[in-house]
Chain A
Amino acid sequence: MKKLQKLYLYLILLFLYAPIIILIIYSFNESKYRVWTNFSFKWYIELFQDTQIMSALYNTLFVAVVASILSTIIGTIAAIGINSMKKWQRSTIMNVTMLPVLNPDIVTGIALMLLFYIAKLPTGIVTLVLSHMAFCIPYVILSVLPKLKQADNRTYEAALDLGATPALATWKVTIPEIMPGVITGLLMAFTLSIDDFIISYFTTGPGVDNLSILIYNAAKKGVSPSINALSALMFAVIMILLIIINVRTHKATKKA
């Protein structure tokens, strides 16, 4: 039974990873097209000479990191506030929070572009970060709220009774309790930010492209295999990090 369960999980993982494995294999294909010719490192070499891709990589990571951290901070604080609201207030705010999740990306993108234009904010990396925050914050709130509900309000009140200021009590008591939800929100925000292209396209400025925009723009004429090579490298880095972290926590738990 247990073996069967494991097999099932592995099959699901195989399904999720099949195209990624293909992508990695084909990043070593000499041809620009999806027909295998010869094994080659050509695209990896070209990748590091391609300033456009490298700057897009920098923008992607910068925006994803800044937007997901800022969203997590704003979203977590907001969630704490929402959680202590009266029921009707809470449900009003939650309905508004759900809306950007429902709006088609192209509509959000164009609407934000108009907003920045009216506000006379020059488009560029700042507007890119702001718009990413706009669609990330709801997900953060949605992942923090359930944890807040599970949290025990009495410990927070005890801290207040013992003389802590509300801010200190929140920081020392509530935040650690809801940390798993916060981390989930951060991860989710990071994931969404990395993958978005439509909203990014409309809210970025001249010369500030992220990887998704590059890929979307190139889709009419063929995506450069260097981008596949970059994805393969990113994938390898993530996997190695995951293994290192896992080994370290494993050791830590053994010591303890």
Chain B
Amino acid sequence: MNRRWYSAPYIVWSLIFVVVPLLVVAYYGLTAQSADGSLEFSLENFKRFFTPLYLGVLWRSALYAAISTVICLLLGYPAAMILASKDLKHKSVMMFLIVIPMWMNLLLRTYSWLTLLENQGLINQFLRFIGVLGKEQSIQFLYSEGAVIFGMVYNFLPFMILPIYSVMSKMDYSIINAAEDLGANKFNVFKKVTFPLSIPGIYSGITMVFVPAITTFAISSILSGNNVNLLGNVIEKQFLVGNDWNFGSTMSLVLMIFILLSLVIMPDSEKESQGGMII
């Protein structure tokens, strides 16, 4: 028996639990309520989306998600490299330490940041106490784009570190040693050997940060006090306040197509292992 058939149960499963829900979304997204309340095929909602208002929201969401992805990469790459370096002890413990924060509820963690970062929060109080700030002064960390990006970086950083770490720890050290033996300096080893080998991990990291970042709504809602309205917020309100499943689904469809396209733009090499390699 060919092992190919092992995936048969999963194929049945994904037909039911992946394809059917998607068809439901596509159905609502491509229809609109006609005058008598029945649903009929219509591209009206797509036209409605492609207006400056909603395109602007999509652009802003993509921009903030992209910025947070870059910051996550800049912060996470060195961390993954240090984690993977052979002389670090207790690697598995460190790994766990990076995963565990994600076991605490996202909303609770985000509320906790409020306690720290508000104008009357602990950090501002501390700065006032040591005299850096005057009695009535405060640094406004929250209620802005910066706060949203900060929240995204905080919540998704582990998703960047883990895949890069996983690829790097599987790396063949004999190649690196060989490069060093051949007289390459540390920078060149990194540029010519370590970095190219870690690219699959970077791709998965980018996917796993960018996708949840572009769809989030709780983070912007709490940290920016809804001053920053992302596509996630707009979609959520469309379903719950507007009760407009059609336009809500249309927006979800556009968002999915947009994400798929932006993932395609990433260079083709190693696409196979995409999203993979979480640890």
Is there a direct interface between A and B, measured as CB atoms under 8 Å apart in the complex?
yes
* Residues of A109-156 contacting chain B, CB below 8 A: 110-112, 114-115, 130-131, 133-134, 137, 139, 141-143, 145-146, 149-150
Query: B149 CB to closest chain A CB, in angstroms?
Result: 14
**Majority secondary structure of chain A interface residues (helix, strand, loop or mixed):** helix
From B32-40, B89-97, B126-134, give the one contacting chain A: B89-97
Q: List residues of chain B with CB within 8 A of the CB of A197.
A: 107
Contact B17 A103 (CB under 8 A): no
* Residues of B65-91 contacting chain A, CB below 8 A: 75, 78-79, 82-83, 85, 87, 90
* Residues of B233-279 contacting chain A, CB below 8 A: 235-236, 239, 245, 248-249, 252, 255-256, 259-260, 272-279
A15 (CB) vs chain B CBs: closest residue: B154
Contact A195 B25 (CB under 8 A): no
Known: A78-B6, A81-B6. A2 touches B87 (CB 8 A): yes
B19 (CB) vs chain A CBs: closest residue: A96
Query: B111 CB to closest chain A CB, in angstroms?
Result: 7
Query: A227 CB to closest chain B CB, in angstroms?
Result: 7
Q: Which of B85, B108, B166, B279 contacts A23 (CB 8 A)?
A: B108
> Chain A: interface residue count, which band?
35 or more
Q: Give Cα distance in the complex from A15 to B113, angstroms.
A: 11
* Residues of A1-18 contacting chain B, CB below 8 A: 2, 5-6, 8-9, 12-13, 15-18
Residue B175 at the chain A interface, CB threshold 8 Å: no
* Residues of B161-205 contacting chain A, CB below 8 A: 161, 166, 170, 204
Inter-chain CB contacts under 8 Å: number = 232
* Bitwise interface map of B from 134 to 160 toward A, beta carbon under 8 Å scored 1, else 0: 000000000000000000001001100
Known: A16-B158, A103-B25. A142 touches B108 (CB 8 A): no
Q: List residues of chain B with CB within 8 A of the CB of A242.
A: 93, 96-97, 100
Q: Give Cα distance in the complex from A37 to B272, angstroms.
A: 55
Residue B55 at the chain A interface, CB threshold 8 Å: no
Residue A170 at the chain B interface, CB threshold 8 Å: yes
Known: A105-B215, A142-B276, A231-B104. A80 touches B249 (CB 8 A): no
Task: Please give 6 more A-B residue pairs, beta carbons under 8 A apart, in addition to A23-B109, A145-B273.
Answer: A16-B154, A18-B112, A97-B18, A104-B255, A110-B245, A131-B17
A-B contact pairs, 16 of them (CB 8 A): A12-B157, A18-B112, A19-B115, A23-B104, A26-B112, A78-B9, A93-B11, A98-B275, A100-B18, A102-B259, A103-B22, A103-B256, A114-B24, A137-B13, A188-B279, A223-B108
